[in-house]
Amino acid sequence: MLTGKSILITGGTGSFGKKCTEIILKRYKPKRLIIYSRDELKQFEMAQEFPDSKYDCMRYFIGDVRDMERLNRAFRNVDYVIHTAALKQVPAAEYNPFEAVKTNILGAQNVIDVAINHGIKKVIALSTDKAANPVNLYGATKLCSDKLFIAGNSYVGHDHSAFSVVRYGNVAGSRGSVIPFFLKCRKNGILPITDPRMTRFWITLEQGVNFVMKCLETMVGGELFVPKLPSMSIMNLAKAIAPECKTKIIGIRPGEKLHEVMIPKDEARRTIEYANYYTIQPNFSFWGRRFTNNGGKPVAEDFEYNSGENPWILAPEEMVKIIRSLESR
């Protein structure tokens, strides 16, 4: 689908953007692959990893999603946009709330408006489990962003731009993951545990990229995609990383949940289940014209996709394999 096309990744120097770039360049021959981000040093480092001499499709735009004029320049003649740019650190968002609003909400609206103005074919935005029943500002801004992207399909008019969202949980080994933190703590012999009851969904970076690429291919605009993922308790994760270490209970942090929720009960009536994922359908008139079932079935009325009640449990030995692959990088 992406061969001969122009693709732009906002926040493209992040963990997801770099892995997505790697996979796109392996599988396709895009006309242009544009990395749009604020950090010139990360762009310089990424250009060493994907040099012009080998990948003449690569382009690097220094810019912020808050800057609509710069987005207008970057989006010219682009076919697809993958929106990953966000302020993601929960404590930083709590302390600098309007900065998170400006990037995660106002920036999202800028991406939507500019995409419509330039006739971008498809825009897919990355969300987070924290947007489901949010208890912190980061989650609240991402919930707002999700709703903006879904609603963007309503005011496209007669143009053909389509907007969808992908929501998934913890990415093993990413900068926000607890795994690198535990690996550092392993040297000291003690792993700090917030709450021994805590559970999380887990996905690898490559699995996340593959899921987003599949959603980009199949989306019609308006879906919120949620992959089916395994869960693991924080105690089993600690044992998988450092079975020789002691644990120390430090208490749950502000804005943190015991269990991840990716589909709240309130959204069950609009949720369709497929073999490997769910979609949450919007309450907009455009959806009825676009929707095709493709073998999906409605979930039960009291359904909630919760890491604490998830029947698919990640075995410790499977997590050990993931950790070893991260350490070997």
Q: Please state whether beta strands 6-10 and 80-83 pair in parallel, antiparallel, or not at all (unpaired).
A: parallel
Q: State the helix-helix crossing angle for 178-185 and 234-241, rounded to 10 degrees.
A: 50
Please identify which of the residues 18, 88, 130, 257 carries the catalytic annotation: 130
Is position 187 annotated as part of the catalytic site? no
Separation CA 62–CA 40 (nearest Å): 7
Secondary element (H or E) of residue 5: none
Q: At residue 125, what are phi and psi to the nearest 5 degrees?
A: -110, 140
Residue partners of 59: CB distance under 8 A and separation at least 6:
32, 33, 34, 35
Phi-psi region of 295 (alpha: psi -120 to 50; beta: other; left: phi over 0): left
Give exposure, 84-117, as e/b (b: 16+ Cβ within 10 Å): bbbbbebeebeeeeeebbbbbbbbbbbbbebbbe
If one counts every other C-beta atom within 10 angstroms of the C-beta of residue 258, the result is 15
Residues labelled as active-site residues:
130
